[in-house]
């Protein structure tokens, strides 16, 4: 089964981000549910891919094919000399100014993740991005993924070709769902968890 995370990663890269081979792509939140698919898909689509995650998951991001990795506990992707054509913002809720600083002058940021807190709508940063975008040369966007047959077919083709593999950290039986959710909320999961029924 192809989960929503994979569909989200594909739509963010292709439909919203309009990624092209050779572009520099930053996946902020490379080690989680959406990010583990996004890194693999960005590579499969020919992008030079940088993954951002925490120290203990850098090896995972590398194993997914990331050309470069950034440890967000030590380095700031927006402080580096590098600039990116496309940023998929999945984790950490960086400010819009940090996202813009890390983009090329005409680059695109796709905000996928929710707010870390502090906004009554839960979408303050996303809405500010959409409001600001028409007034700057960079494109700042948000989106909500949709289930579409053609995307499922595309993902199935990548899986069949061996370029996309779901990263399942652990499998839990149904009666241990609370434990699984605690692991997820504690940020301890690498990729996805699966529940067996």
Ligand X SMILES: NC(=O)c1ccc[n+]([C@@H]2O[C@H](COP(=O)([O-])OP(=O)(O)OC[C@H]3O[C@@H](n4cnc5c(N)ncnc54)[C@H](OP(=O)(O)O)[C@@H]3O)[C@@H](O)[C@H]2O)c1
Among candidates 15, 41, 38, 14, which has minimal Cα distance to 158?
Answer: 41
Take residue 82 and report the two structure tokens written for it: 């590098």
Options 145, 155, 158, 166; binder of ligand X; rule CB under 6 A: 145
The rounded distance, in Å, linking the Cα atoms of 92 and 105 is 23
Q: Is 28 in the site for ligand X (CB under 6 A)?
A: yes
Give the C-alpha separation, 172 to 184, whole Å: 12
Q: Which of residues 176-195 bind ligand X (CB under 6 A)?
A: 187
Q: Which of 62, 72, 130, 165 binds ligand X (CB under 6 A)?
A: 72
Instruction: Confirm if 156 and 2 have CB atoms less than 8 A apart.
Output: yes
Residue closer to ligand X (CB basis): 31 or 50: 31
Query: How far apart, in Å, are the Cα atoms of 52 and each of 67, 90, 197?
Result: 11, 10, 33
Size of the residue set binding ligand X (CB under 6 A): 26
126 interacts with ligand X by CB under 6 A? no
Least distance to ligand X, CB of residue 34, Å? 4
The SS3 of residue 52 is strand
Nearest distance, CB of residue 110 and ligand X, angstroms: 9
Q: Provide, rounded to whole angstroms, the least separation between the CB of residue 181 and ligand X.
A: 11
Q: Does 29 bind ligand X (CB under 6 A)?
A: yes
DSSP string, 106-148: EEEEEE-S--SS--SSS-HHHHHHHHHGGGSSSEEEE------
- Residue 54 binds to ligand X (criterion: CB under 6 A): yes
**Residue 39 has which token pair?**
């890194």
Position 40 contacts ligand X (CB under 6 A)? no
Q: How far is the CB of 184 from ligand X (least distance, A)?
A: 6
**Rounded distance, CA 48 to CA 82, Å?**
12
- Least CB distance to ligand X at residue 144 (A): 4
Q: Can you tell me which of 16, 24, 25, 32 binds ligand X, judged by CB under 6 A? A: 32
Interface residues toward ligand X, by CB under 6 A: 4-5, 8, 28-35, 52-54, 57, 72, 90-92, 112-114, 143-145, 187
């Amino acid at each position: 089964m192809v989960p929503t995370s994979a569909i989200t990663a594909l739509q963010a890269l292709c439909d919203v981000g309009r990624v092209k081979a050779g572009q520099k792509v930053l996946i902020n939140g490379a080690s989680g549910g959406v990010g583990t698919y996004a890194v693999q898909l960005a590579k499969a689509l020919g992008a030079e891919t940088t993954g951002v995650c925490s120290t203990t998951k850098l090896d995972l991001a590398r194993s997914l094919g990331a050309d470069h990795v950034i440890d967000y506990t030590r380095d700031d992707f927006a402080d580096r000399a590098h600039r990116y054509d496309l940023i998929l913002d999945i984790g950490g809720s960086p400010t819009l100014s940090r996202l813009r600083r890390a983009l090329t002058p005409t680059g695109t940021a796709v905000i996928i993740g929710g707010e870390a807190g502090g906004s009554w709508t839960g979408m303050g940063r996303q809405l500010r991005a959409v409001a600001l975008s028409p007034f700057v040369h960079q494109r700042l966007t948000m989106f909500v993924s949709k289930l579409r047959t053609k995307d499922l077919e595309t993902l199935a083709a990548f899986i069949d070709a061996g370029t996309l593999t779901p990263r399942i950290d652990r499998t839990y039986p149904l009666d241990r769902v609370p434990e699984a959710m605690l692991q997820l909320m504690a940020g301890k999961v690498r990729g996805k968890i699966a529940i067996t029924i």
